[in-house]
Structures are given as C-alpha cells and as structure tokens.
Amino acid sequence: MTRLWKVSLGRYGEFEASALEHNILTIDFGIKEDVSHAKDRDAFVKVMEGIFPNEKPTMLLNFAAQVNQFVNVMSIGDLVVCSVKSSRTISIGRVAGPYTPAEGSGLPSRSIEWLKKDLPRDTFKQDLLFGSGAFVTVHEITRNDALTHVQSVIGTDKDLGYEPTPVMTKNPTNTAKVIARDKVDALNQLSHLEQIAREQIEKRLAYHFTGHNLTKLVASILQAQGLKVYVSQPGADGGIDILAGSGPFGLESPRFIVQVKSGTYVVQHTDLETLIGTVEGFKVDYALLVSWNGFSASANQRQNELSLRARFWGREQILDNLFSVYDRLPEEIRADLPLRRIWMLVPDQAEDA
C-alpha cells in the first residue's frame, strides 16, 4: 500500500540543493553515523538519548518516532511532498531507495525520484497544506484522502479538493489513537495558521518594501540589533548597499558590507564571487547578502564554503530577524508594516507523531 509523507528539507532549506539536484532526501536530528541497527522506535529512543542527554523524555520519543518513520517505516514507492522554502513551491517525489547514511556527513538519507517540481503552493487545496505544513520534519499525511489528491496532481496538475468526513468512534480501545491523531492535527493546523500569517506579511513586504525601501528595512533591522549603519543612496553603489559595524562610529569589528537584492532577481553563483571580491577590496570582515527572491541551487551550494566570510538572508531569514526586533524598529516602518504578537498554546508534540 502506497503511503504519503511530508519531509522537511531543513528549517532554512539547507537540504534543498541535495534533494532537488542530487535526488537525495536528508534529515538531521544530530545523527552522524550509520543507524541501520535501530529497527524500531524504541531503539531510536536510545539513539536520541545518546545525542540529546538533557532533553525531555517526551521530546526524545517524538524525535525517535520521526527518525524511525524515515529509516524503517517509509517504503520504496511511497510518495513524498516537500515544501521548497527558497522558491515558495512544492515538489512531489517517489521514494526510490532504502535508508543509507549520507556520504561524508553520516546524516540519514533516502534516494528519491521527483515526479513534479516547482508546483505553486496554490496548486493544492488548503486541506493538504494542513499536513505538508506540520511542525515535524517527517510526518505521514493520512487525513482527508490526501494521497488521492496528490496522485491527481501528479496525473493532471490539479487538486480536485475534498469534502472532509467527520471521524466518529465509539470504540474505547481507539480513544488513545484518536487523541494522538488529534494532537498531530492540532499541530498541523497551528502551523498552517503561522504559514498563512507569514505569507500575508510577505505580501505586505513585497508591496511596500521594494527596491531601496528593502535596503532601508534591512538597515533598520541591523541598527535595532545594535550596529551602526550607513546606507548608500539609490542608484549605482559599487556593490555596497549598506556599511555596518560596531562601536559609536561603526568602525570597530565586526565590520561588514551588505548587498540587498529585491524584486524577482535570484542570486546566482557569480554574485557570490563578486561579493567576496568586494569584501577583500573594502578590507571589511564579513559580508551579508540579502535576497528577497532567494538563491539559485548553485548559489545555495556555495554558501557553506563561504560561511566564514559571509551570511545569507532569504525571505525566511528576513522575517525571522524582522520579528526579533520589530518593537525596536522606526515608527515609520511599523506604520507601513503593522504587526501584533498573538500568543497561542502549542499542543504537546510528544505523543506518537
């Protein structure tokens, strides 16, 4: 029987390049060696205890359940849905091989055959995103006949949608399973609400903070983080949009240059080479490259090699840094981007996820 899985490609999309270019799904959970000896969830609890000795037992159980699903439960031929953060798209693939430790890193990996790539998020009805947007890294999507609708997208590029069927049970032996499933559903729905909010904020940013306005927003974020910044005037800037540094005049280390790319431009591998040349030419410590529309696959691969000289912000990092200092941003920016913090109770993730 074919199953449908959601697998995250990293919190910040760090596993997207290996997945989409080399057809390898990768997860982390701190595992750096072969774990083929662990044949069930209980065995993985012991593995997790060794990696996270100070973590709560409930969280260790949650981690173990996800890794066990990826290593032992997921079968060749199962379908996988992956959200691609860098391009705001969804890709669908078929599991093509058994678990293997990734060469070099030892991270758990599975080979995958991609059936559909770069599908717009609105290809799918909202019900599917409740599953594919879950907090967890590995999650089997079983509700709302999602498998049928993914197969429909594979065959026709269209999701036919669904009419949800209420789940009724009078069998007390099923109560624990229903409660556990409902907790997972609650997490999924909470994640979906967060995704909706982020997408609305992204649209507002894309409308109000294009071109030089995005540069001013990034400068304000850095200033709120305690740096002294100097913003170049609109127009030709010699490869520098912002100069930032520590100390009262911004002359103390760390000193770095910032390049900001707005609109639909996708940063390429050659842009990174130019960036490093600019760092050396201006004799600063580091560089920050900000790209609203993300980075090409080759540029993503190059980022690890440049990690000691540069940092990179896509949309996710722009929003994360924005949220961390929002209350300290200038009033005119908060007027163009009015946000309100909302507190929500996060359901316990520790039951069988």
Could you confirm whether domain 4-168 is CATH 3.10.590? Answer: yes
Please state, in angstroms and rounded to a whole number, the distance separating the CA atoms of residues 218 and 204: 15
pLDDT for 161 equals 58
pLDDT for 353 equals 39
Question: What does pLDDT average to over the chain?
Answer: 84
pLDDT for 164 equals 43
Residue 256: pLDDT over 90: yes
CATH topology of domain 210-336: Trna Endonuclease; Chain: A, domain 1 (3.40.1350)
pLDDT for 348 equals 56
Model pLDDT for residues 318-334, shown as the tens digit of each residue: 999 999 999 999 999 99
- Whole-number CA gyration radius for the chain: 22
The answer to whether the beta carbons of residues 349 and 136 sit under 8 Å apart is yes
Please state, in angstroms and rounded to a whole number, the distance separating the CA atoms of residues 328 and 192: 28
Instruction: Sketch the domain layout of the chain as residue ranges.
Output: 4-168, 210-336
- Could you tell me the pLDDT band of residue 145, with boundaries at 50, 70 and 90? confident
| Mean pLDDT for the stretch of residues 343-351 | 58
pLDDT for 251 equals 87
- Could you tell me the pLDDT band of residue 146, with boundaries at 50, 70 and 90? confident
Q: Could you tell me the pTM of the whole model?
A: 0.56
Partners of residue 257 on adjacent β-strands: 243, 287
pLDDT for 119 equals 85
Model pLDDT for residues 175-218, shown as the tens digit of each residue: 554 444 555 555 555 556 777 788 889 889 988 898 999 999 99
Higher pLDDT among residues 135 and 151, named by residue:
151
Residue 86: pLDDT over 90: no
Amino acid at 209: F
Give 146's contacts (C-beta < 8 A, 6+ positions apart).
Answer: 4, 127, 128, 131
SS (H, E, C) 242-270: EEEEECCCCCEEEEEEEEEECCCCCECHH
pLDDT for 317 equals 93
Angle at 17 between CA 1 and CA 310, to 5 degrees: 150
| Mean pLDDT for the stretch of residues 94-114 | 95
Q: Is 263 left (phi over 0), alpha (psi -120 to 50) or beta?
A: left
Higher pLDDT among residues 159 and 328, named by residue:
328
Residue 124: pLDDT over 60: yes
Q: How is residue 267 written in tokens?
A: 């940063």
Model pLDDT for residues 211-242, shown as the tens digit of each residue: 999 999 999 999 999 999 999 988 766 679 99
The answer to whether the beta carbons of residues 44 and 67 sit under 8 Å apart is yes
pLDDT for 327 equals 95
Give the SS3 label for residue 318.
Answer: helix
DSSP label at residue 154: H
The answer to whether the beta carbons of residues 71 and 57 sit under 8 Å apart is no
Model pLDDT for residues 59-79, shown as the tens digit of each residue: 999 999 999 999 999 999 999
pLDDT for 165 equals 44
* The CA-based dihedral angle spanning residues 188, 189, 195, 200, taken in that order and rounded to the nearest 10 degrees: 170
pLDDT for 131 equals 47
Query: Phi, psi (5° rounding) for residue 306?
Result: -100, 10
Query: Phi, psi (5° rounding) for residue 286?
Result: -145, 175
Higher pLDDT among residues 88 and 238, named by residue:
88
Q: How is residue 151 written in tokens?
A: 């197969």
